[in-house]
Amino acid sequence: GDSVTQTEGLVTVTEGLPVKLNCTYQTTYLTIAFFWYVQYLNEAPQVLLKSSTDNKRTEHQGFHATLHKSSSSFHLQKSSAQLSDSALYYCALLNTGNYKYVFGAGTRLKVIA
Amino acid sequence: EAAVTQSPRNKVAVTGGKVTLSCNQTNNHNNMYWYRQDTGHGLRLIHYSYGAGSTEKGDIPDGYKASRPSQENFSLILELATPSQTSVYFCASGDAGQGRAETLYFGSGTRLTVL
What are the pLDDT digits (tens) for A27-59? Answer: 888 778 999 999 999 899 999 999 989 999 999
Measured CA to CA in angstroms, residue A102 lies from A92, A108, B69, B78 at distances of 6, 18, 26, 23
| Distance between CA atoms of residues A21 and A9, nearest Å | 10
Confidence of residue B1 (pLDDT cuts 50, 70, 90): low
DSSP chain A: --EEE---SEEEEETTS-EEE--EEE---SSEEEEEEEE-TTS--EEEEEE-STT-EEEETTEEEE-BTTTTB--EEESS--GGG-EEEEEEEEETTTTEEEE---EEEEEE-
Phi/psi of residue A56, nearest 5 degrees: -110, 125
Which of B33, B42, B102 is facing A90, going by the closest CB pair? B42
Find, in chain A, the residue whose alpha carbon is nearest to that of B89: A44
**B30 Cβ contact list (under 8 Å, min separation 6):** B50, B51, B71, B94, B96
* Ranges of each domain in chain B: 4-114
Q: Which domains does chain A have, with CATH numbers?
A: 3-112 (2.60.40.10)
Find, in chain B, the residue whose alpha carbon is nearest to that of A36: B103
Distance from CA of A80 to the nearest CA of B (A): 26
Tell if the CB–CB gap between A105 and B106 is shorter than 8 Å. no
Inter-chain contacts counted by CB atoms under 8 A, chains A and B: 47
Confidence of residue B98 (pLDDT cuts 50, 70, 90): low
**A98 Cβ contact list (under 8 Å, min separation 6):** none
Tell if the CB–CB gap between B44 and A103 is shorter than 8 Å. yes
Average pLDDT, chain B: 92
Write down the pLDDT at residue B63: 97
Contact B31, B106 (CB under 8 A): no
Tell if the CB–CB gap between B106 and A50 is shorter than 8 Å. no
Write down the pLDDT at residue B101: 67
Q: List CB contacts (< 8 A) between B103 and chain A.
A: 35, 47, 50
Q: List CB contacts (< 8 A) between A99 and chain B.
A: 31, 94, 96, 102
Name the percent of chain A lying above pLDDT 90: 82
Write down the pLDDT at residue A99: 76
Q: Which CATH class is domain B4-114?
A: mainly beta
Start-to-end C-alpha separation, chain B: 37
Confidence of residue B96 (pLDDT cuts 50, 70, 90): confident
Q: What is the pLDDT of residues A12-30, one digit of tens each?
A: 999 999 999 999 999 888 7
Find, in chain B, the residue whose alpha carbon is nearest to that of A97: B101
Q: What is the pLDDT of residues B32-76, one digit of tens each?
A: 999 999 988 889 999 999 899 999 999 999 999 999 999 999 999
